[in-house]
């Protein structure tokens, strides 16, 4: 199986390394010091499930160098799409599938606008992993990839990828309704990431203060209603499930958007809170909590952080 992994960070590095270790022809697209380290010394994934050491990998910064593949694992963040989507057609054969892994619900449509729906497998990654140093991925927990065809039929290419991932030691889930799965994750990350970023508080504080806990629940209820207005059915108890997850996280836990904002890095604001607001405008769904969150964060994201005091 020939696979292009675009973005060799925590998500792409973890799943790509497992597939490469299982004998698949994997090409990693990376940049900077991480790319240089991979080209020189290969790629290592330090994992509680057992380390993966690849002494040599195919790694490049030039997508055009790879050629046609069976699958593309699109593992960059959504704000990086402009620099990679235009190169995707060069990877596509008649049955090539591009698996999206981005947080939110808008990535499949953005990719489909460039390569068409038939080439896209909407997906979501659940893995806690990051680049610890160039050439080294630190896997902390989870490790599941959820994906499916646009219309949810169990196609041969979906089942083949699921088998390949499972044989490589990764969890691969093909739900009956991929859109419900994506929106279920969205109903968690958009409220938690948005409110966490506005308050700059960890989950331990957000869930323990009565006021912020109510805001979390309200924001989750808004996404549940928004999903229904867009024809997606979420479990009736999705908010209770989400809050159980919130209560089960370490008290110091924060979202990636919260950390990116604090560090002055580009954020996924437009595909989290921004997407809620835009989708709500189309359907006429009231989402006042998310409107407030989005406007506050849009102002913060537009301003560089103040320099630390000497």
Average pLDDT score over residue span 23-48: 97
CATH code for the part of the protein at 179-302: 1.10.1040.10
**Distance between CA atoms of 95 and 24, rounded to whole angstroms?**
17
Instruction: List the end-to-end C-alpha distance of the chain, in Å, as a whole number.
Output: 54
Determine which of 13-17, 22-26, 43-47, 264-268 has the lowest per-residue pLDDT on average: 264-268
pLDDT surpassing 80 at residue 310: no
Q: Identify the band that residue 284 occupies on the pLDDT scale cut at 50, 70 and 90.
A: very high
Listed by start position, the domains of the chain span: 2-176, 179-302
pTM above 0.85, yes or no: yes
In the chain, what percentage of residues exceed pLDDT 70? Answer: 97
Tell me what the pLDDT averaged over the chain comes to: 95
pLDDT surpassing 60 at residue 50: yes
Q: Identify the band that residue 309 occupies on the pLDDT scale cut at 50, 70 and 90.
A: very low
Average pLDDT score over residue span 189-215: 96
CATH entry, 2-176, from 3.40.190.10, 3.40.50.720, 3.30.1120.10, 3.40.50.970: 3.40.50.720
pLDDT surpassing 90 at residue 306: no
Nearest to 53 by CA among 164, 155, 113, 135: 135
pLDDT reported for residue 304? 52
3-state secondary structure the chain: CEEEEECCCHHHHHHHHHHHHCCCEEEEECCHHHHHHHHHHCEEEECCCCCEEECCCEEECCHHHCCCCCEEEECCCHHHHHHCHHHHHHHCCCCCEEEECCCCCCHHHHHHHHHCHHHEECEEEEEEEEEEECCEEEEEEEEEEEECCCCCCCCHHHHHHHHHHHHCCCEEECCCCHHHHHHHHHHHHHHHHHHHHHHCCCHHHHHHCHHHHHHHHHHHHHHHHHHHHCCCCCCCCHHHHHHHHHHHCCCCCCCHHHHHHHHCCCCCHHHCHHHHHHHHHHHCCCCHHHHHHHHHHHHHHHCCCCCCCC
pLDDT reported for residue 302? 78
Nearest to 285 by CA among 216, 244, 230, 240: 230
Give whole-number Cα distances, 79 to 37, 82, 121, 135, 236, in Å.
Answer: 24, 7, 19, 23, 32
Average pLDDT score over residue span 163-169: 97
pLDDT reported for residue 73? 98
pLDDT surpassing 90 at residue 142: no
pLDDT surpassing 50 at residue 207: yes
Average pLDDT score over residue span 232-236: 96
């Amino acid at each position: 199986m020939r696979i292009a992994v675009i973005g060799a960070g925590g998500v792409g590095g973890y799943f790509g390394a497992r597939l490469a270790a299982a004998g698949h022809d994997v090409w990693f697209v990376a940049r900077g010091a991480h790319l240089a380290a991979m080209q020189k010394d290969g790629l290592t994934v330090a994992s509680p499930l057992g380390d993966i050491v690849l002494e040599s990998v195919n790694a490049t910064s030039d997508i055009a160098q790879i050629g046609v593949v069976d699958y593309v694992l699109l593992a960059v963040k959504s704000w990086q799409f402009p620099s990679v989507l235009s190169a995707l057609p060069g990877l596509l054969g008649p049955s090539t599938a591009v698996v999206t892994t981005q947080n939110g619900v808008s990535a499949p449509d953005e990719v489909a606008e460039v390569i068409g729906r038939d080439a896209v497998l909407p997906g979501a990654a659940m893995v806690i992993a990051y680049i610890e140093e160039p050439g080294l991925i630190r896997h902390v927990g989870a490790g599941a990839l959820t994906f499916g065809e646009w219309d949810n039929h169990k196609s041969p290419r979906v089942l083949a990828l699921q088998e390949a991932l499972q044989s490589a030691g990764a969890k691969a889930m093909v739900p009956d309704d991929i859109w419900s799965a994506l929106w279920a994750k969205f109903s968690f990350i958009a409220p938690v990431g948005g409110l966490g970023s506005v308050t700059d508080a960890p989950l331990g504080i957000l869930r323990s203060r009565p006021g912020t806990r109510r805001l979390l629940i309200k924001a989750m209820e808004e996404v549940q209603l928004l999903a229904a207005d867009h024809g997606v059915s979420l479990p009736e108890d999705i908010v209770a499930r989400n809050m159980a997850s919130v209560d089960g996280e370490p008290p110091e836990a924060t979202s990636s958007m919260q950390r990116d904002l604090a560090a002055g890095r580009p954020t996924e604001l437009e595909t989290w809170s921004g997407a809620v607001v835009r989708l709500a405008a189309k359907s006429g769904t009231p989402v006042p909590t998310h409107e407030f969150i989005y406007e506050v964060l849009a102002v913060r994201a537009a301003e560089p952080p103040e320099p630390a005091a000497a």
